[in-house]
Chain A
């Protein structure tokens, strides 16, 4: 750099120096570089022969040794000069790079340029390079990498789309199987679907991932599938069950777990867990095993809440709907006894979403 500085702007330089300058110009020209030194008055002195593209920046060809005002010639360069000035004013050795920008010529052609500001030997320099082939290579690498990433993303979306289709089929099969069992009691198809949607909403509120949330949407509606194994005389008995009949009725949890829980399919295993534990209570007074607190799987604690909510608030042939305020008050009273209090709190927080589900899925 010091050779450039010494040679440039010296009108009576000996012929050997002029020859050296010519050689240096040729070398810098081959590198597509334009080197400018910042003068004390803020103008710039061109230190080498003007490359053919310097016209893009509005620099005259014969400007060597003449102070050039750079501001206003290129919007990008103006922006970079703000950072460059900070570096130059520090007057300590250092260098910053502008990153690539494209100047457009009168014919719409793009010229990739990159600028560097640096301080060397106490002098302030601005070096602008036309990147030509190097830029083409960079673009090719980026184009290839990003096209590859886009293809991967598209593949991932297709996998997700197909997974969602499989999930939908699983859900459809589950609901249709359940409709067979629920024909024997008073539950409706709408109730079964809503239980899945409420449970998924709570799962999302708990921060579960998409797979687990989708699993509970399908698994939760199967909570009562074990009722298929309960005799009609008990399941459809209009009055209160005797203790013995109630003991038989309680077995629907175990029957459901046996039907689903031995599967290798995760969603069915989750269904088995829910079927077994959805009548357990937070205080340990539930059935069939009398689990308490967090011994009860969280999926079952979720279903315990949403099942009661939907059953109380919905109309059935044997009962009128209960006003929501009354339902919520009753559930709040059961927090810590029947329901997991923290989960119930979360349920209350996302109540608007629960209402939307209730309104969108009719019986």
Chain B
């Protein structure tokens, strides 16, 4: 079975663990539980008859107390940059992390996920900013770990990578 490693990165409380929990366990908790350290979950996904084991590394959110160790991303097939649509500064944090990862590890496949779409009315990230990022070639996905919208699409993007690599 093919195995890929994917890392969840972003500021704290943007919903990284919730996205993994929604994807792996189809569950969600309203209460905020901070992640300390690294938690690895796995899920087997079958696409076009080929099964891929996804190892999902949920890395503690970065803040003043906790800095991301980019070595955790070593050997990964890509990463999922997560921002909280209701907290615009988490997008800045995500992009800063992306810059650091590229600098230290070189380019890796990634997607930018703006989470908490169920609170779209409270989003503080303007559509123009998202459009500008897309204009720079960044793949931006919207999701809600709470109701599950857009979650499968995030991980499916990476689950297809082995098949695409074989096709090439």
Interface residues of A (CB under 8 A from B): 75-76, 79, 82-83, 99-102, 104, 110, 112, 114, 135, 138-139, 142-143, 145-147, 149-150, 153, 157
Contact = CB atoms under 8 A, between A and B. Distances in A.
Contacts of B133: none
Given A83-B71, A142-B65, A145-B65, A99 B12 contact: no
A82 to B, nearest CB: 7
Interface residues of B, number: 26
Interface stretch (B36-44, B105-113, B142-150, B156-164): B36-44
B87 A100 contact: no
Interface centre among B36, B55, B65, B71 (most CB of A within 10 A): B36
Contacts of A112: 36-37
B13 A79 contact: no
A261 B12 CA distance: 46
B40 A142 contact: no
Contact of A138 (B36, B38, B87): B36
Interface in B48-78: 55, 57, 61, 63, 65-66, 69, 71-72, 74-75
Contacts of A153: 87
A150 B32 CA distance: 10
B37 A157 contact: no
12 contacts: A75-B57, A82-B74, A99-B37, A99-B69, A102-B38, A142-B66, A145-B65, A146-B63, A149-B12, A157-B86, A157-B87, A157-B124
Interface of B: 5, 12-13, 32-34, 36-41, 55, 57, 61, 63, 65-66, 69, 71-72, 74-75, 86-87, 124
- Interface class of chain B by DSSP: loop
Contacts of A75: 5, 40, 55, 57
B105 to A, nearest CB: 13
B36 A135 contact: yes
B3 to A, nearest CB: 9
A79 B74 contact: yes
B125 to A, nearest CB: 13
A71 B12 CA distance: 31
B37 A79 contact: no
A143 B34 CA distance: 6
A265 B32 CA distance: 41
Contacts of A139: 34, 36
Contact of A101 (B40, B41, B55): B40
Contact of A79 (B36, B61, B75): B75
Contacts of A79: 71-72, 74-75
